[in-house]
Amino acid sequence: MRKRKKLLGVFIGIITVLLLIDIIAGFYFYNLAIQRGQKDFLQDNEDLEVSAEAMKEFTEGGWREWVKNQDFEELELNSFDDLTLKGYLLEAEEPTNKLVVMAHGYLGNASQMGLYGQYYYEELGYSFFTADARGHGNSDGDYYGFGWHDRLDYVDWINKLIDKLGEDTEIVLHGLSMGAATVLMTSGEELPDNVKVVIADSPFTSVKELFAYQMTRMFHLPSFPVLDTTSLVSKAKAGYSFTEASALVQVKKAEVPILYIHGNADTFVPTEMTHELYDHTSSEAEMITIDGANHGEGFVTQKEKYIRTLNSFLDKNMD
């Protein structure tokens, strides 16, 4: 009897230690990925290495000076959870009812979407709007939403922009990486008819699937049980779980046409995720892959193909 009690005590002790380790790990990974702040773990990440051509364009491209020289109108939005979010509107030089609304990636900011916005503005004659996502840039927020709460922010931005620019405004939602997941999550909400198309460049299926992939690839750890615990921490601190933050679920409800774009050499967000999204999209959808392109670099490395596909999709679906 004494031996049995001793073994039981050892067993309970081991379970308690493992549980404490799991809880500590959950808070650690929440702070690592979700909590707002510098993310040193992404530095020197081989999966985020881009070609020299793309790096030069990202860091030295003329679009950066173009953004600085534009007279953007700063807009504010009070979110559903009382955050002040910042957006930036550049109305077209010639009268138009066409507007592109852009969403940036993880740890990015609104100005970075000028890489794409310049083309819409100068070549297509669109007005251009971009926003700092919650927790990014000049917007409030102490966590990164990975598109889930951001989808509601974008619904509010869309309505605000229609009120400002007119009821005949025709809107393109165009997002990159986390921004692509954002616009896909937005597509599953009840949207005004003004939203005509969605362009999703390098999206992920869900936060849970993305983190499970990254946990194995970057940290060489199984996703269970740490990822589930981290999800619980996220639900408590940021108000969303990794399971519910799903672009895959949202595109099954989408009614707006969606164009998917993904580099087939992307190891940070695997191309297979976009294939899965495309296969489950309820609305009209098209997909292209960019040969040899790593995460989010297709617009630079194969700009002609990117633009040709984009223009064809817009011509088909915009009034």
- Nearest CA-CA partner of 282 in 247, 313, 242: 247
Which pLDDT score, from 0 to 100, does residue 54 have? Answer: 85
| Residue 162 scores a pLDDT above 70 | yes
pLDDT of the residue at 124: 97
Tokens of 290: 């960019």
The pLDDT of residue 8 is above 60: no
In a domain, 235, yes or no: no
| pLDDT at 45 exceeding the cut of 80 | no
Query: One-letter amino acid identity for 116?
Result: Y
Please say if the pLDDT value at position 14 is more than 80: no
The per-residue b/e assignment along 235-247, b for 16 or more CB within 10 angstroms, e otherwise, is eeebebbbeebbb
Domain extent, residue 67, equals 53-206+245-317
Mean pLDDT score, 89-110: 97
pLDDT of res. 178? 98
Helix residue ranges per DSSP H, 220-255: 226-237, 247-251
pLDDT recorded at residue 242: 96
Q: Is residue 41 part of a domain?
A: no
CA distance 266 to 252: 24
Instruction: Please report, rounded to a whole number, the percentage of residues in the chain having pLDDT higher than 70.
Output: 92
Angle between helices 62-69 and 114-122 (to 10 degrees): 70
Q: Is residue 113 part of a domain?
A: yes
User: Which tokens belong to 287?
Assistant: 């997909």
Query: Is position 3 within any domain?
Result: no
pLDDT tens by residue, 117-147 = 999 999 999 999 999 999 999 999 999 999 9
| pLDDT at 221 > cutoff 90 | no
Q: Check residue 299 and give its pLDDT.
A: 96
Angle formed by the axes of helices 2-33 and 207-219, nearest 10°: 100
The tokens for 64 are 């950066």
E strand spans, the chain: 73-78, 84-90, 98-103, 127-131, 170-176, 195-201, 258-263, 285-290
Q: How confident is the model at residue 5 (pLDDT cuts 50, 70, 90)?
A: low
In a domain, 228, yes or no: no
Residue 7 binned pLDDT confidence (cut-offs 50, 70, 90): low
Question: What is the strand order of the sheet 84-90 is part of?
Answer: 73-78, 84-90, 127-131, 98-103, 170-176, 195-201, 258-263, 285-290
pLDDT surpasses 60 at 224: yes
**Do the domain assignments include residue 150?**
yes
Specify the CATH number for the domain of residue 134: 3.40.50.1820
193 Cβ partners below 8 Å, 6+ apart? none
Residue 218 lies in a domain: no
pTM: 0.93
Per the domain annotation, does 265 fall within a domain?
yes
pLDDT digits (tens, 9 = 90+) for 241-283: 999 999 999 999 999 999 999 999 999 999 999 999 999 999 9
Lowest mean pLDDT of 9-13, 177-181, 218-222, 254-258, name the range.
9-13
Domain count, the chain: 1
